[in-house]
Structure 1
Amino acid sequence: MEHRVRLTGTPHAASELACLRVIARLPSHWFSEILECGTGYAVLGLHTDASDKDVTEKVDAALTASALRDWVRD
């Protein structure tokens, strides 16, 4: 199952780098891909059998890293 997660940050933040930092903090058995990046936003495709709630919790936990402080799940 694919879960699409939209992330938003400040316009000066590097969206590709933010995606890689989030992906690095997700479970290693999830297949993750960057679907779209633009100024201040990104969309991730997360392929896993995890529930929507679990995906949300894992992404939110990843966003607590200090390097991602300007980013939120949208």
Structure 2
Amino acid sequence: MEHRIRLAGPAEAAPELACLRVIARLPSHWSVEILECGTGYAILGLRTRVPAEEAVARIDEAIAVLPLLGWRRD
């Protein structure tokens, strides 16, 4: 399954760095690609066998840690 996840964060934050931090917290067998980054947002493409609900839950867990506070799934 392919999932597109849009993350939104502070305008002054580096979206590329946020993406790398999120990717580092996801299961290693997932295929993840940074599709787009801009001021205050990033879009990730996930390829995995899990349903959308599980993928979203994993993203939510990943952005709940201290370095990513201020980021949210949009």
- Specify the TM-score bucket, using the shorter chain as the normaliser: over 0.9
- The one-letter amino acid paired with 2:3 is H
SS at match of 1:7: strand
- The one-letter amino acid paired with 1:48 is T
Return the alpha-carbon distance in structure 1 between the equivalents of residues 18 and 56 of structure 2.
Answer: 16
Return the alpha-carbon distance in structure 2 between the equivalents of residues 64 and 10 of structure 1.
Answer: 15
Return the alpha-carbon distance in structure 2 between the equivalents of residues 68 and 36 of structure 1.
Answer: 18
Alignment RMSD (CA, Å): 0.4
The residue number in structure 2 matching 1:34 is: 34
The percentage of counterpart residues that share the same residue type is 59
Q: Which runs of no fewer than 5 residues in structure 2 stay unpaired?
A: none
> Deviation per CA, 1:21-66, whole angstroms, max 9, x where unpaired?
0000001100000000000000000000100110011000001110
Return the alpha-carbon distance in structure 2 between the equivalents of residues 14 and 56 of structure 1.
Answer: 21
Count of residues in Structure 1 that have an aligned counterpart in Structure 2: 74
The residue number in structure 1 matching 2:58 is: 58
The residue number in structure 1 matching 2:2 is: 2
Work out whether residues 13 and 70 of structure 1, in 8 Å CA contact, stay in contact via their aligned partners in 2: no
Q: Calculate the TM-score normalised by the size of structure 1.
A: 0.98
Q: Which runs of no fewer than 5 residues in structure 1 stay unpaired?
A: none
The residue number in structure 2 matching 1:12 is: 12
